[in-house]
Each structure stands twice: as C-alpha cells, then as structure tokens.
Structure 1
Amino acid sequence: MPYYNGKWHRYSESERREYGRQQRELRSQEWKAKWHARWISKTGLKQERNWTDAMIKQLLVGKEENAGKINAFRRTLIARVEKTKKFQVAMAERVAKQQKKKQKV
C-alpha cells in the first residue's frame, strides 16, 4: 500500500483506493503514449492510415516485431515504406476505389 506522503492515517479506505486507481491510470496513459509514439499495430495501420490487408502482406512481409503483448511495426519503418513509389501507387488506387464507392452511394 502506498504511503501517501506520511499521512495515510488521515484518509479513508475509499479515498486511498481512489488515489491508487488514479495513479495506476496515470502510469497507464504515460505507457500508452510512449508505446504509440514508437509502434503501430496492424489495426492502427488500417484505421489510422487507410492501409489494407493486401498492402500489409505485400509491403511489410516479415517486418512485424514483438512490441510487448502484441506484434507491431516500428513507425520509422512505416514512414520509409510510405515514401516508396510502390506504396504511393497502391494507396492512390485505394483512394480512387473509395471515392468511386462513395459516388455510387
């Protein structure tokens, strides 16, 4: 149990539990920010950066690394891949398909 600046006896059990919960939440948020600054998951590529499964298989074969509990890609690698001509052509095709689909609806 944390010491609470030497004044643990001044707080009720519920206040101590709430303080502990807040501290755990802060540590968790800091950890998540550090992780996301360095790594991006397959889901992140799809949702945030508009990649497809086929693009991931084609351009990132074997580049996945163990990033804690899940496998992910380094953001530096993704930045390098996104600068290549092959990726830019694939993404242009994807965007064109998406725009065509929107026009039909």
Structure 2
Amino acid sequence: MPYYNGKWHRYSEAERREYGRQQKENSRQVWHQKWISKTGLKQERNWTDSMIKQFLSGKEESAGKINAYKITIIARVEKTKKFQAAMEQRVARQKKRAA
C-alpha cells in the first residue's frame, strides 16, 4: 500500500516537476543575490585565475555546497584603481588576440 502523507497524489507528475523547478529557481536567485562563484567571476565578469588570486586571496567562503565570494566584496574590489588597471590590460590583450 502506498504511503499517502500529504496531498502529493492530487497533482500530476508534470505539476510536481514544475513546482520543483520553480522552487529551485527561486532558491538559485536568492543565492545569486548574495554570492558569486569562481566560475561566475570568470564567465560573467571576465576575471582570470591570477586576478582572483591577487585580489581575492583568503576571501572565499563556504556558501552551501560550493565555495564562493560575497557580491559586496566583489563590488568593493572592482571599484579600486588597481583592479581597474588590471581589467583594462586584460581587455586590451583580448582585443589584440581577436585582431
């Protein structure tokens, strides 16, 4: 005999999957409002491994299953002149390689 604790049996499999997908997306958005991962820095903000090591060494924290950086720290670092100079060099190198 199946275990009926709750009302899950009133919904179709597709409705349950959609609800689960929505819950996962909501929790993902909440996480991304506070944290950014190393992969996110590299893909979304054009950072390199050496820039991460130079500007964020020791600032990595546990954010659930992965280690990540707080958005506030990233914003503070990106406003510094030293970082802006490093990013300008990176963009110049990328343009030179593309040409």
Q: TM-score, normalised by structure 2?
A: 0.89
**How much does 1:34 deviate?**
0.5
Percent of residue pairs bearing the same amino acid type: 55
2:29 corresponds to 1:33: yes
Task: Report the CA distance shift for 1:29/1:2 in structure 2 as closer, same or farther (over 3 A).
Answer: farther
User: Which protein is bigger by CA-based radius of gyration?
Assistant: 1
Which residue does the alignment assign to 1:68? 64
Q: Structure 1 regions of 5+ residues with no counterpart?
A: 9-14
Secondary structure (helix, strand or coil) at the match of 1:63 reads coil
CA deviation string 1:24-60 (max 9, x = no partner)? 1111010001011111000000000000000000000
Matched residues, number: 95
User: Cα RMSD between the aligned structures?
Assistant: 1.6
Q: TM-score, normalised by structure 1?
A: 0.84
Which residue does the alignment assign to 2:7? 3
- Structure 1 consecutive aligned stretches of length 4 or more whose deviation exceeds 3 Å: none
Which residue does the alignment assign to 1:55? 51
Which residue does the alignment assign to 2:39? 43
Task: Report the CA distance shift for 1:21/1:2 in structure 2 as closer, same or farther (over 3 A).
Answer: farther
